[in-house]
Amino acid sequence: MTDRKPNLLLITSDQQHWNTLGAANDEIQTPHLDSLARGGTTFTRAYCPNPTCTPTRASIITGQYPSQHGAWSLGTKLPESARTVGDELQAAGYRTALVGKAHFQPLKGTEEYPSLESYPTMQDLDFWSTFDGPFYGFETVRLARNHADEAHVGQHYALWMERQGCENWRDFYRPPTGNNDRQKHRWLIPEEFHYDNWIAAETVDLLDRYGSAEEPFFLWSSFFDPHPPYLAPDPWHRMYDPRELTLASAVPGEHDSNPPHFGLTQQEHPDFSAWRESGQGVHGLNSHLHDRRDLAENVAVYYGMISLMDKYIGVILDRLEELGLADNTLVLFTSDHGHLFGHHGLIAKGPFHYEDLVRVPFIARWPKRISAAAKSDALQSLVDLAPTFLSAVGGDVPRTMTGVNQLPVWCGKADSARDCVVVENRHEPTTVHLKTYVDGRYKLTVYYEQDYGELFDLREDPGEVKNLWDEEEHASLKADLTRKLLFAEMGKEPLWMPRIAGA
């Protein structure tokens, strides 16, 4: 068994705040993820390369930043020509599969940019009954696109619900015209038909196949929760008492020195027209005013969604043990980006690079290789996953991948693999175009063609309430960090081939 190639199991949540694991937060229960943490190392300073879904998910499989792989925003598409970690692993003899959310393509396709994840294809069940790949380096896929009761439901998940006897599954989803008002917090769908159960069942089926054939695999179990809308079936929606939860809030005056769009979010009817040059909507550029009681109820359901997901992650991890595969499998749990639930007065996500939104939970387990019950503050980026996975299986890392190999850090043979991370965010060509540099202590955010920005001392101000950007005494620090951001940008340029001649 020791000479067998290691397996790779990637488990991700969607839009999960970094501090919503029971091992670090006693207000929430995640026993199975806590067990995973006891068997591995928790990295407390892991970051996404972009705080939205499509760009980061594309970075996970390409090992490139959004500005490099092309899916730079929501509503864009990862080119189908992109070389992915799945392609590399298949070439090395691996089976590859993705179960759950992909989101590499937009909800609307065009003749020039067709999309399998768009209407009407996503709800053409005849198509999905015969299609299971290939898809971006995954030879097998089991896909769905919706969050909770969104109308986008379809693809393989809808087919599974019908096979399970839930032929009226459309009753549990929003009609195309808007919200299903019967479903606030308590999702009427029975748990047995919930997509967490589907993801676990499909994942276990693939584990059984790969295990019985003794084939090495790369398997991505991609959960949809706890992304809003805040809905969970009985009894999970009422697992937590809103009155007992700690709620975040803005500090009075904290946005006075921030870029103008921060302050606009705290108005009842803000005018964001100047930020919509393309005519497309931008996540987060809206009023973030909220009622504290409603917020508490939402957070309670958000936590319930995480605990429900944890149950089904446990089903997957238990099956890995039962099949005798756990010791030879590198398991990585993380999320595509964070979530704002009252932090700084903000809700959900947007062009706000607070730690709450750009940091993610991150646990790596690989028995006898990665230390158990350990914590590390070594900087991680999700763009590093692809090159690290390839290194773990002894494969070559393509020169087009610009993430760094974190395997020596995960295995305790190096203190760090990077001295900074870069977070990108771009919805509009110019108005919403920002980049953030984070090192061991400081965070700098610059905006394209704008004089404003952000500078935080994370050691002295971990809550990020005092923006130092305009303070004279920090001018030299700002200049130094700006220079380091430039160096970081230069350092992540891909070099697709080595230099082979003098001229």
Q: For residue 501, count other CB atoms closer than 10 A to its CB.
A: 4
Give the closest residue to 364 by CA, choosing from 142, 42, 6.
42
Q: What is the CATH number of the domain that holds 376?
A: 3.40.720.10
What pLDDT sits at residue 2?
53
The candidate with the shortest Cα–Cα distance to 223, out of 134, 121, 142, 107, is: 142
Tell whether 485 is covered by a domain: no
Extract the tokens encoding 104: 């590499």
Secondary structure, 3-state, 202-257: HHHHHHHHHHHHCCCEEEEEECCCCCCCCEECCCHHHCCCHHHCCCCCCCCCCCCC
What is the residue-wise DSSP string for 20-46? -STTT-TTS--HHHHHHHHHSEEESSE
Residue 454 lies in a domain: no
Q: What is the pLDDT along the chain (503 residues), one digit of tens a residue?
A: 457 899 999 999 999 999 999 999 999 999 999 999 999 999 999 999 999 999 999 999 999 999 999 999 999 999 999 999 999 999 999 999 999 999 999 999 999 999 999 999 999 999 999 999 999 999 999 999 999 999 999 999 999 999 999 999 999 988 655 556 677 899 999 999 999 999 999 999 999 999 999 999 999 999 999 999 999 999 999 999 999 999 999 999 999 999 999 999 999 999 999 998 888 889 999 999 999 999 999 999 999 999 999 999 999 999 999 999 999 999 999 999 999 999 999 999 999 999 999 999 999 999 999 999 999 999 999 999 999 999 999 999 999 999 999 999 999 999 999 999 999 999 998 999 999 999 999 999 999 999 999 999 999 999 999 999 999 999 999 999 999 999 999 999 999 999 999 99
Task: Name the nearest CA neighbour of 29 among 435, 313, 438.
Answer: 313
User: Which token pair is 396?
Assistant: 């070559």
* Euclidean distance between CA atoms 399 and 133, whole angstroms: 26
Residue 70 in contact with residue 79, Cβ under 8 Å? yes
- The pLDDT value recorded for residue 1 is 41
For residue 461, tell me if it sits in a domain: no
In a domain, 499, yes or no: no
Q: How far apart are CA 112 and CA 91, in angstroms?
A: 30
Q: Which two structure tokens, joined as six digits, stand for 253?
A: 């005056």
Q: Is residue 493 part of a domain?
A: no
User: Letter for the amino acid at 445?
Assistant: T
Nearest to 341 by CA among 454, 468, 242: 242
Does residue 65 lie in a domain region?
Answer: yes
DSSP, collapsed to helix, strand or coil, labels residue 394 as coil
Q: Decide: helix, strand or coil at residue 138.
A: strand
The total number of structural domains in the chain stands at 1
Please state, in angstroms and rounded to a whole number, the distance separating the CA atoms of residues 225 and 222.
9
278: in domain: no
Using CA atoms, how far apart are residues 40 and 370, in angstroms rounded to an integer? Answer: 6
Task: Give the C-alpha separation, 436 to 35, whole Å.
Answer: 33
- Residue 107 placed within a domain: yes
DSSP string, 271-301: --GGG-TTSS--TT-S-----HHHHHHHHHH
Tell me which residue range forms the domain holding 178: 7-257+288-418
